Structure 1
Amino acid sequence: MNSFLNDHHIEKLIEGDETIIRLLYDKLFPRIASYIRKNKGNDEDAKEIFQEALFQLIVRAKANGIQIKSSFENYVFTVCVNLWLKELNLRKKEVRDDVVFELMRNDNQIVKYIIEQEQMDLFEEKFQLLSDNCRALLKDFFNKIPYNIIVKKFSYSNENVAFQRVFKCKKRLADLIKADAKYKDLI
């Protein structure tokens, strides 16, 4: 994760650690508040949007974990922008054109990130459909646990059996993903 925030910090955020929350406010809130003020909002709106974004992050992380492949800062900013645009739509306000153009310049990165998040969501959804054994095996595989340890942990007779089982689980996961209608939109 290309960010000042790591997995340990996300765990602390989930736990409600005030130090992490203050760090997030110090590092991220000024940019978000500036954006919202430029788009017919005020500091109170910015606080509400920022809190809602953090709440969504915590809920998502608790529900099925979260993997952020771009920077955490851009992730939170994008969530806040989307929440604010929804709020503006509800209020029937318009976003200033120059800010929209500024965002359009960053669109490639944001769109790429959103697609990556949607791909990860699809992966997580289908991963949960695998058997408990397959999920545990693939987690070890994705965490680069050596096959000799996997053999012992799962009581396989040898590394070849472990390799074949990993292959079958990966194929099952790939088949589940490819069978989903969303898959074609995300490739």
Structure 2
Amino acid sequence: MVLSPDFSSAPNLRAALLANREQALTQLYRQAFPPVRRHICGHGGSAEDAQDIFHDALVILYEQAVGGTLTLTSSASTYLVGISRNLWRHELRRRARLPHEALPDDPGPLAADAASETEETRFAVLDYVEQLGAKCKSMLLAFYYFQQPLTQIAADHDYRSVRSATVQKFKCLERLRESVRAAFRTETIEY
């Protein structure tokens, strides 16, 4: 019986990668690639896209682990899935900015406009989150996207208490809501 390596902490992962890189990467691939492939294929990507994104995520994880800059708050496979989701989101944004003529097998201007509007709507809130600033962005993503408990968020963001983190999260959320409302008011006035 072969036990799978413990990749729940950065030192364990670093040691495994330095001791036997091929075995450690193979184990990470087996654990994390299936959910990444499901996510990307379910969000407009192909199996090839999933492989490309996952390989990029593996490189990021590897460089951070071996370089000693990796801090894990969950398992390495969960971390890989999170990196892959972020990379895929950025790839979708990049593709949305490409001129429609540059896309292969362009189905026509009406279908391209509809697809562009759908993607723009889907990622519009993420654009507003980007504008909030690093601390608010980090906190909201940790709470809503990574579903971290407020105790962990308070510790990670150097708040003295969970209550302080809760208040700050609420303020960040209110700033986000106000940004969206202001943009909506501007758009409705223009039309």
Q: TM-score range by the shorter chain?
A: 0.3 to 0.5
Return the structure number with greater relative CO, CA threshold 8 A, min gap 6: 1
| TM, length-normalised to structure 1 | 0.48
| TM, length-normalised to structure 2 | 0.47
